[in-house]
Amino acid sequence: MPVPRHLGGLLGSTDAAFTAAHALRDGQKYDLGALQIDETVELVVVGAGLSGLAAAHFYRRSHPAARILLLENHDEFGGHARRCEQHVDGRLLLGYGGSESIQSPGFMWSAGALSLLGELGVDLKRFESCFDRTLYPGLGLSRAVLFTREAFGVDKLVTGDPTPMVADDIPKGKLNARNAAAFIADFPLPEASRTQLLGLYTEARDVLPGKSAAQKQALLASISYRTFLTQHWGLDDAAANTFQKRSHDFFAIGIDAVPALDAAATGYPGFVGLGLPVEANAEAELEEPHIYHFPDGNASLARLLVRQLIPSVAPGDTMEDVVTARFDYTRLDAAGEQTRLRLKSTVVALNASAGGKVDVGYVHGGVLRRVQARAVVAAGYNSMLPYMMSGITDQKREAWRACVRAPLVYAKVAVRNWEPWVKLGVHEVTNPMGFFSRIKLDYPVSIGGYRCARSPHEPIGLHLVHVPTPSRPDLDQRAAWRLGRELLLGATYQHFEDKIFDELTRILGPGGFDAARDIAAISIYRWGHGYAYGANSLYDKARKPADAVVGRQRVGNVAIASSDAGWSAYAQAAIDEAARAVQELGGRVGHRR
């Protein structure tokens, strides 16, 4: 067991950020009646994640003189779009504590969301030169799978992984992948398991014979990928385990809860021989490069939005200068500003008051405060709304309760150099039965005044993903996520640090890595309420069930936004829902390119 070193701490959704919200859930009453009104504004926005910030932006555009107040429970704006700053040997390392990239903007982003990027000065073409797609391939590095001794009997790293990824940052021909036969031959598995896997990777077998394409699709939507592997491809458990947590990062669940049809759409092997129709959009999403990434992830979008809403907060006006711009947090909530953003402020009550106004109660510094607004955009966690609003129909209440979010953790580990990675020939590791399911070198992006690590002798940030949700086929996805959240909130910082030391040593030890010497800093971004829920065909009858429609309908002058309202865990959904909510309040949200 490593010696506790306390190289960092728990960030993201901290206990302090949750206190008032969890008290509300547990029955605490907040009575606004006896309180005087502290402030009157035109719009209150609940939550300063990408959705809340976009809502404020859209509202400001159509009501230039409006006074807007954003209330955010965390000590930082941006929600999941969270910047990580680490300093190693005098060098600044930027990283993303949550929302990572603008994914597949060519195919998945609406005209409205793209238009917002344009207004913020984000030129997507710039990423083609800022993101160095050939740095790691040029050093001969590949992806690898880690076999851990608890599940597979031995710790072993197998490089040259040829498995395709949804929206890859590495160009197709430069994966440094081995052919499936050579790759699988190195797996520490019985020969029978290896033979099964080789068939899965290389044979165009129709494992669902006698069915039409539509029947196959219906079946694949109703079974998990794990069931597809074990029952239709005949893989044994050891072979299926090589995929178990490969889906964690993208879906926040294991392959036993990912519909086989979704696995097909995101590049998992085993579907070539089924003769399924090619879905143009899924194919395009799969193919579009994963390069639309700022060094601090989508936090740069949040920072661009805040700088536009409150210009005195930071200098500059380009997508380049925002990356290193120093933000003056004392300006976020400055008297006299038309838009104010108040951190550490949890909204606990939204009450309709006389004249159609909305009374907003929020807890700041342990004290309940009251502000009155002409209108509200609720862009926080929609599952909190039943506790915050009274006189709501049961149907609506249920619709909001259905917005369970996924628990997940991004651990950011700053290391003094990445020579062991180069020695071992690897830039990214899938850990299908371990603690951190994905472990990788940071994306190589240099932009504005920020330069990413280019030489293996330089410090670099490592990115590690942990999903605490256990494999529980007896629970539906939301129940499993709730259980995962409980486990996550019970875990200490030290637990994560120990796991980081342990797994990095198992992977990189043979390359000369010494955790005690080489790790310089650790930041654990804990997201109890992470990805918004999207329909899962194993548990939901429709892609957009009635709950999704009912949940986003406005209640008087309270319009409902956030990615929860879109039932979609993407930045563009957060933006689209903000635009819709503002339109419902009478805002004009035209597209500007």
Q: Does 71 bind ligand FAD (CB under 6 A)?
A: yes
Measured from the CB of residue 79, what is the shortest distance to ligand FAD in angstroms? 2
Which residues, other chains included, contact 367 with Cβ-Cβ below 8 Å and sequence gap of 6+? Answer: none
Q: 101 to each of 87, 96, 274, 326, 429, how far by Cα in Å? A: 23, 9, 32, 22, 19
Residues 99, 104, 217, 477: which binds ligand FAD (CB under 6 A)? 99
CB of 101 to ligand FAD, least distance (A): 4
User: Judging by beta carbons within 10 Å of its beta carbon (0-12, 13-18, 19+), is residue 110 exposed, middle or buried?
Assistant: middle
- Number of residues this chain uses to bind ligand FAD (CB under 6 A): 36
CA distances from 496 to 21, 408, 460, 482 (A): 25, 12, 19, 20
Q: Classify residue 259 by its DSSP letter.
A: B
Based on CB atoms, which residue is closest to ligand FAD, 258 or 406?
A: 406
* Cβ proximity to ligand FAD, 407 vs 448, nearer residue: 407
In the bound state with ligand FAD, the residue whose beta carbon lies nearer, of 80 and 143, is: 80
User: For ligand FAD, which is the closer residue by CB, 102 or 414?
Assistant: 102
For residues 33 to 62, the per-residue mask of contacts with ligand FAD, x marking binding by CB under 6 A and - elsewhere, is: -------------xx-xxxx----------
**Residue 12: strand, helix, or coil:** strand
CB 15 to ligand FAD: min, Å: 13
Q: How far apart are CA 552 and CA 547, in angstroms?
A: 9
In the three-class reduction of DSSP (H, G, I as helix; E, B as strand; rest coil), residue 330 is classed as helix
Reading the block at residue 458, the tokens are 């330089």
Q: Taking CB under 6 A as the rule, does residue 69 contact ligand FAD? A: no
3-state secondary structure 420-450: HHHHHCEEEEECCCCCCCEEEECCCECECCE
List the one residue from 243, 435, 531, 567 that touches ligand FAD (CB under 6 A). Answer: 531
Among 30, 73, 274, 584, indicate the residue that binds ligand FAD (CB under 6 A).
73
Q: Binders of ligand FAD among 305-364, rule CB under 6 A?
A: 346-347
**Under the criterion CB under 6 A, does residue 74 sit at the interface with ligand FAD?**
yes
E strand or H helix at 372:
strand 367-378
Q: Which of 286, 314, 408, 524 binds ligand FAD (CB under 6 A)?
A: 408
Q: Identify the residue among 60, 63, 80, 440 touching ligand FAD (CB under 6 A).
A: 80
Q: Are 575 and 116 in contact (CB under 8 A)?
A: yes
CA distance 356 to 490: 42
Shortest Cβ 20–ligand FAD spacing (Å): 8
273: left (phi over 0), alpha (psi -120 to 50) or beta: alpha
Q: How far is the CB of 46 from ligand FAD (least distance, A)?
A: 5
The span of 98-106, 111-119, 220-228, 230-238 binding ligand FAD (CB under 6 A) equals 98-106
Give backbone dihedrals phi and psi of 430, rounded to 5 degrees, phi first: -95, 135
Out of 292, 410, 418, 481, point to the residue binding ligand FAD (CB under 6 A): 410
By CB under 6 A, is residue 227 in contact with ligand FAD? no
Task: Tell me the residue number closest to ligand FAD, measured at CB.
Answer: 49
Q: Minimum distance between the CB of residue 297 and ligand FAD, rounded to whole angstroms?
A: 7
Per-residue interface string for the shown chain with ligand FAD, residues 471-500, x marking contact by CB under 6 A: ------------------------------
Q: Per CB under 6 A, does 530 bind ligand FAD? A: yes
Task: For the CB of residue 474, give the shortest distance to ligand FAD in the complex, in Å.
Answer: 26
List 228, 381, 421, 435, residue binding ligand FAD (CB under 6 A)? 381
- Does residue 101 touch ligand FAD according to CB under 6 A? yes
Exposure of 13 in the CB half-sphere (CA atoms within 13 A)? 24
Choose between 200 and 378: whose C-beta lies nearer to ligand FAD. Answer: 378
Q: What is the DSSP string of 30-84?
A: ---TTSPP-EEEEEEEE--BHHHHHHHHHHHHH-TT--EEEE-SSSSSBTT--EE
Q: Does 527 bind ligand FAD (CB under 6 A)?
A: yes
Alpha helices in 442-492 (DSSP H): 477-489
Residue at token pair 């065909």: 537
Cα–Cα distance list, 491 to 10, 205, 454, 504, 524 (Å): 10, 44, 35, 19, 11
Using the rule CB under 6 A, give the single segment among 168-176, 487-495, 504-512, 564-572 that binds ligand FAD. Answer: 564-572
Nearest CA-CA partner of 404 in 261, 529, 304: 529
CB of 274 to ligand FAD, least distance (A): 29
H helix count then E strand count, the chain: 25, 17
Q: Is 462 in the site for ligand FAD (CB under 6 A)?
A: no
Distances (CA, A) of 22 to 342, 384, 449, 486: 20, 9, 41, 13
The label of the residue with tokens 């180069």 reads: 422
Per-residue interface string for the shown chain with ligand FAD, residues 568-587, x marking contact by CB under 6 A: -xxx--x-------------
Q: Is the CB of 98 or the CB of 269 nearer to ligand FAD? A: 98
- Nearest by Cα to 162 from 146, 179, 148: 179
- Applying CB under 6 A, the residues found at the interface with ligand FAD are 46-47, 49-52, 71-74, 79-81, 98-101, 103, 298, 346-347, 379-381, 384, 408, 410, 527, 530-531, 562-563, 569-571, 574
